[in-house]
Structure 1
Amino acid sequence: METTKNITLIPFDPKYAKDFADLNVAWLEKYFVVEPHDVELLERCEETIINKGGHIFFAKSGSTIAGTFALIKIKEGVYELGKMAVSPKFQGQRIGQQLMSFCLDFAKDQNWTKVILYSNTILENAIHIYKKYGFVEIELEKDSPYQRSNIKMELIL
């Protein structure tokens, strides 16, 4: 657990599954559309992420969930950073960067070898943050799990 600027980072709890879905749906609907793969991950996050060896974390401010992200297991030691979202009420407070920093510390503590992510270049602020944390662009496979993705990045740990 880590606390910065009244934000506490906590692991998944089923009582926050709806917050996980709601934060991500709001973000997706603002910039893109909710795709079938999103629905599967968001509506059944315990089954599709947690029970398959993945992790979900939340940024909590008081009793309010301010942000979230998931680490989705791809294979042993390789995880996809996905479903990162910050509530509009909390944007501009560097919560996304706190989530990213926590995420990478967690991945290193687990002795993972690589974290990947899918994004879209219209999200300039997000891409800037990913690069700041050391992610580099790699080739995007033709059968990417997300239609909206036009960039794939990785960080070798």
Structure 2
Amino acid sequence: MSKFTITTYAPEHHSAFVELNTEWIQKHFVVEKMDLLQLNQAQESILNIGGEIFFILDQGKAIATCAMVPHGEKSYELAKMAVSTHYRGQGLGDMLIETAIAWARKMKAEEITLLSNTVLTPAITLYKKHGFVTTQLGPHPDYARCNIEMKLVL
């Protein structure tokens, strides 16, 4: 039995959502305008429009997170996925993606998209493992750091 539990957004986990994502973004890139909107106004920019935010907890502490942001009625973006540095390599990315995919199917989504950067080799490998395929390479209008868009057809 796993020592980790998965839950959805609750206000007490909001600071972890911000901290976990800010940590990885600042390690590799720069926090951008869209990041600030989604991180600081998660309720308005993700949840209130039909999205969800998942957390993996270790004894009540949020140690990993990802969001599902709606794009139309049948599409979601897997976004703001982060795992605490101390917990990497334990399969938490797999747990998050599997949870997000199951949730999207329950919502009757037809596809999940994501934006990333090809320098994040472990992340790209993880996405491919779960069936995501590259749909676009090159600059993206929403994020300066993004140079790859991937999609999973459900």
Normalised-by-shorter TM-score class: over 0.9
Once the two structures are superposed, residues 67-97 of structure 1 have per-residue CA deviations (whole angstroms, 9 ceiling, x without a partner) of: 0000001110101000000011211111111
CA distance in 2, matches of 1:143, 1:108: 27
Within 2, Cα distance between the matches of 1:66 and 1:143?
A: 29
Among 88, 92, 105, the alignment partner of 2:85 is 88
| CA–CA separation in structure 1 for the residues paired with 2:88 and 2:42 | 24
What is the CA–CA distance in structure 2 between the aligned matches of 1:54 and 1:10, rounded to whole Å? 14
1:139 positional shift? 2.2
Aligned length: 154
- In structure 2, stretches of 5+ residues that fail to align are none
Task: Select 2:46's aligned residue among 46, 49, 53.
Answer: 49
Q: Give the distance between the partners of 2:103 and 2:45, measured in 1 at CA.
A: 20
Q: For the residues of structure 2 that align with 1:51 and 1:140, how far apart are their CA atoms?
A: 31
> Alpha-carbon deviation of 1:156?
0.5
Q: Which residue of 1 aligns with 2:9?
A: 12
Extract structure 1 runs of 4+ deviating beyond 2 A: 139-144
Query: Percent same amino acid among aligned pairs?
Result: 38
Counterpart residue type for residue 11 of structure 2: P
Match of 1:108 among 95, 105, 110: 105
Normalised by the size of structure 1, how large is the TM-score?
0.94
State how far apart, in whole Å, the 1-side matches of 2:149 and 2:48 are.
25
Q: Give the structure 2 partner of residue 151 of structure 1.
A: 148
Report if the CA contact (8 A) 1:24-1:84 is conserved: yes
Gaps of 5+ in 1: none
2:23 is equivalent to residue 26 of structure 1: yes
Partner-residue secondary structure (3-state), 1:99: helix
Distance 1:93 1:83 in 2: 19
Deviations 1:119-144 (A, max 9, x none): 00001111011111110100258653
Letter in 1 for 2:12: K
Q: For 1:74 and 1:23, locate their aligned partners in 2 and report how far apart those are by CA, in whole Å.
A: 24
TM-score scaled by structure 2? 0.95
Moved more, 88-97 or 137-146: 137-146
Alignment match, 1:69:
66
What residue in structure 2 maps to residue 129 of structure 1?
A: 126
